[in-house]
Amino acid sequence: MFKTMLGKEVKQLLRERSELLTLLIMPVILITILGSALQNMMSPGSAGTDKVTTAVVSETSQEEELNNFADYIANQEIPEEERETLIEEAVNVSVPELLTETLNALADDGFLVVSEYAGGAAEKDNYDGVWHFEADYREQAWKQMFLGEERPEPAEVEASGQTAVIEGVSDAFFNELNWQKEATYLALAEGEALPEPIQTEVNVEQLDNRSVITSFDYYTAGMAVMFVLYTATFLATTAHTERKSHVYHRLLTSNVPMWMYLAGKGGAGVLLSLLQLSLIFTFSSLVFDVSFQNLGLTAVIAGGLALTVGSLSMLLTAVNYRIRNEQASALFASVGVTILAFLGGSFFNVSQLSETVATIGRILPNGAAMQSLLAVMGGAGSELIYPMLLSIIVFSVLFAGAALLVFPRKEDL
């Protein structure tokens, strides 16, 4: 009977043109429009919803390099008084410290998180960006700044996520630093040649085999996790029609148990969601070159999300039956889906608005699935989808349990 019910739901959906339009055509249209329109605004790496995590690594301490610099200038033909001034000034223009200060200012504004490593190494995988300063970077920079010697090798920046943000912060910092340096020279040493800027380009290194997330990737994930929710409302609405026309009564009198009916709705929710997600992903893959990197993990995410949609179908069906109208599914379709999609980040990265909102979004099954899809699209491993699996299991159990509790017994029908 379960199989028969699944077959019936699939047939009904295929014959409902307006529903097909909502479930398949609308997401495809929105992926096309939003993906194209925001292609330039959404540069690689800016799709994530987490705070940017950064680390500044200096192989040696400032004090050690300051001593080395003092020793170096002691051997130069520089008057004692000027040597002391240079040492004092060097502390103020120590690049790793200035960068850390800049990053801390951004952290205070809530944009990122900064960690400092002096004389050690940061675990690259734990950060979106790591600025790495070689053992004598400060010393070389001071020599270039104060003595006009050769500029140091550019600091290495390793970006594993949020590439655009890391690149932008680096550019902004070094441009500002050079600009200030030039201004100082112009003010104090008029007539003298300007020293070369200390770092004119940022070497951004992609770690692992992670890919950048494009706007098409983002909206494929966003629209898929949003529109899959409408499958639940479709099923709950057909269930309401079945109650009204007494089809459900007819099933009961043919000895189909109540739980089988609900399970049929849940199973149909899983099956139809999987079909829907497969079609949307295939479309995006073929038309927009969206790459899912790991098909196995993508299938696990799609399966998990489909499971949640199945249990949500059961719950909406049960509520519709309990209140004897279709307001529950109608309200969910008009307001619920929009709220979930907003919190889950289907429209844009909500962490830009509020970290609390983003955290809530990541807990919700659609938000969790979206994060996992983006992570997989970016080449992440299976460990990143564990939180999503937890969210999906919890919500599926809650929805299904609530459905069984809410679904009215026969006399209430």
Partner 1 sequence: MLEVIDVSKSFKERTAVSHVNFFIEKGEVVGLLGPNGAGKSTTISMISSLVAPSAGEIFLGGYSVKKDRTSIRRMIGVVPQEIALFQDLTAQENLRFFGRAYKLKGNELQERVEHVLEIVGLSERADEFVKTYSGGMKRRLNIAVALLHEPELLIMDEPTVGIDPQSRSYILETVRELNRTKNMTIIYTSHYMEEVEYLCDRIYIMDHGEIIAAGSKKELKAMLMEEDSVVVTLSEPAEKFAEKLRENPAITHIHTSGEEAMIRAVKDTPVLESVIQLTRAAGVDIKSVEVRSPSLEDVFLHLTGRTLRQ
Beta bridge partners of 115: 55
Total residues belonging to the chain: 413
Give me the least distance between CB of 254 and partner 1, in Å please: 4
Give me the least distance between CB of 274 and partner 1, in Å please: 21
Nearer to partner 1, 28 or 263 (CB): 263
Q: What is the DSSP letter of 64?
A: H
Nearer to partner 1, 15 or 191 (CB): 15
Q: Residue 326 contacts by C-beta under 8 Å, 6 or more apart in sequence? A: 236, 237, 240, 320
Q: How far apart are the C-alpha atoms of 243 and 254, rounded to whole Å?
A: 15
Give me the least distance between CB of 5 and partner 1, in Å please: 8
Q: How far apart are the C-alpha atoms of 198 and 140, rounded to whole Å?
A: 10
Q: How far apart are the C-alpha atoms of 207 and 158, rounded to whole Å?
A: 7
Give me the least distance between CB of 315 and partner 1, in Å please: 23
Beta bridge partners of 284: none
Q: Residue 101 contacts by C-beta under 8 Å, 6 or more apart in sequence? A: none
Give me the least distance between CB of 250 and partner 1, in Å please: 4
**DSSP reduced 3-state for 269:** helix
Give me the least distance between CB of 22 and partner 1, in Å please: 16
Q: How far apart are the C-alpha atoms of 184 and 114, rounded to whole Å?
A: 29
Nearer to partner 1, 16 or 149 (CB): 16
Question: 46, 349 in Cβ contact below 8 A?
Answer: yes
Nearer to partner 1, 247 or 404 (CB): 247
Nearer to partner 1, 190 or 410 (CB): 410
Nearer to partner 1, 80 or 410 (CB): 410
Give me the least distance between CB of 232 and partner 1, in Å please: 19
Nearer to partner 1, 223 or 239 (CB): 239
Residues lying near partner 1 in the complex (CB under 8 A): 1, 4, 8, 11-12, 15-16, 242, 244-247, 249-256, 410-411, 413
Q: How far apart are the C-alpha atoms of 349 and 49, rounded to whole Å?
A: 5
Query: Which stretches does DSSP call E strand in 180-311?
Result: 203-206
Question: 71, 240 in Cβ contact below 8 A?
Answer: no
Q: Residue 202 contacts by C-beta under 8 Å, 6 or more apart in sequence? A: 154, 157, 167, 170, 171, 174
Q: 135: which 2 tokens? A: 């053992």
Give me the least distance between CB of 246 and partner 1, in Å please: 4
Question: 26, 226 in Cβ contact below 8 A?
Answer: no
Nearer to partner 1, 15 or 188 (CB): 15
Give me the least distance between CB of 234 and partner 1, in Å please: 12
Q: How far apart are the C-alpha atoms of 224 and 73, rounded to whole Å?
A: 63
Beta bridge partners of 131: 56, 157
Nearer to partner 1, 15 or 109 (CB): 15
Give me the least distance between CB of 238 and partner 1, in Å please: 9
Nearer to partner 1, 19 or 136 (CB): 19
Q: 11: which 2 tokens? A: 């047939």
